[in-house]
Amino acid sequence: MSAVRLGTRRSALATAQSQRVADLMSAHSGPDVELVGIATHGDRSSEPLAQIGGTGVFVSALRDALLAGEVDLAVHSLKDLPTAAPDNLVLAAVPEREDPRDVLCARDGLRLADLPPGSRVGSGSLRRAAQLRLLRPDLAVVSVRGNVETRLGLVASGEVDAVVLAYAGLSRVGRLEAVTEILDPASMVPAPGQGALAVECRPRDSATTALVAPLDDGRTRAAVTAERALLSTLEAGCTAPVGAHAQVRDTDGQQPEMVLEAVVASIDGRTHIRTSATGSVEHAAQIGHDCAAKLLADGAGALVGQEVDTVEEGDPRSEY
């Protein structure tokens, strides 16, 4: 059998993620997997993510290559995927999720509560920035640019006192030693789909679909289904200040239960709306819809639709 061509973004983080999928495929079925690097619009542009289109800017080029037959499958950070699935591609596998939490990487081993007033904290995410301002309005949340190493370098050089990144991204590039605090998802709610990967294939390519099927993790797929259903119902893209964290919990002698926590915050951190929903894992999408309906009833629509062009934002070339 010829090598399976796996399309990936070219960044160190994306390559590490894609290599993880390739290794899982080899462990399950033994095919040779060739990584094919593809530059996306989000990688090439230095403009803020919201200004170049937000949702999908890291995805379109990979999908185009897949549809053109240049690759056999594509691996994405799941939180980059638009919530509307294309008719001509299938989400063939969602591997077991990495830790979805955000982390603080600060000077001198400091935790968020220990940072002195006025400390400069870097973030490239409206969601993180909004929640940081909510948690610590006395801090200066500033825009940072670049990949993981560049952002960590800003702390080392003293340009900022700390940065907030995703645990998953640091884990995948081997930089967990930089973490000074893992942030509680009850206070810093992760992005929908954070820490999860998505493997897309052409639906008619049954051979490749069968190769990646063993990688699918049912609990992870259910959790991200709920989170993305919430995002879809809110009609919010990946740049909106929306957090969603779904957990699947075992119950005594019953079907597993899903709990979805969600928050929508104003960009300045002065206003936020939180809610939760619980139900059967089998109804993951409905749980997401119900949670979003609660948020909208409480006024979340105005927060999701707020203007972002005057707000500092980080470099879209690194989603972590």
- DSSP annotation of 296 reads H
Where do we find the tokens 């070339």?
Answer: 317
Does 279 or 319 have the greater pLDDT score?
279
What pLDDT shows up at residue 252? 77
In the predicted model, what is the mean pLDDT of residues 69-76?
A: 96
List residues bridging with 280 in a β-sheet.
Answer: 257
**Confidence bin at 162 (pLDDT 50/70/90):** very high
What 38-42 contacts at long range (C-beta under 8 Å, 24+ apart), as own/partner pairs, is 38/7, 38/8, 38/9, 38/10, 38/62, 38/65, 38/71, 39/9, 39/10, 40/9, 42/316, 42/317
**% of the chain surpassing 90 pLDDT:** 74
Of 54-68, 76-90, 257-271, the poorest mean pLDDT is in: 54-68
Spatial contact of 74 and 8, defined as CB atoms under 8 Å apart:
yes
In the predicted model, what is the mean pLDDT of residues 149-163?
A: 97
The pTM is what?
A: 0.88
Per-residue pLDDT tens digits for 119-134: 999 998 999 999 999 9
- Rounded distance between C-alpha atoms, residue 146 and residue 126, angstroms: 16
What pLDDT shows up at residue 46? 47
**Confidence bin at 57 (pLDDT 50/70/90):** low
**Confidence bin at 237 (pLDDT 50/70/90):** low
Assess whether pLDDT exceeds 60 at residue 318: no
What pLDDT shows up at residue 194? 96
Per-residue pLDDT tens digits for 168-198: 999 999 999 999 999 999 999 999 999 999 9
Which of 67, 60, 97 is closest to 225 using CA atoms?
A: 97
Domains of the chain, CATH where assigned:
4-95+196-216 (3.40.190.10), 102-182 (3.40.190.10), 224-304 (3.30.160.40)
Helices 148-157, 12-29: axis angle to 10 degrees equals 130
What pLDDT shows up at residue 54? 47
Q: State the catalytic residues.
A: 80
Where do we find the tokens 């095919």?
Answer: 31
- Rounded distance between C-alpha atoms, residue 69 and residue 61, angstroms: 12
What pLDDT shows up at residue 48? 43
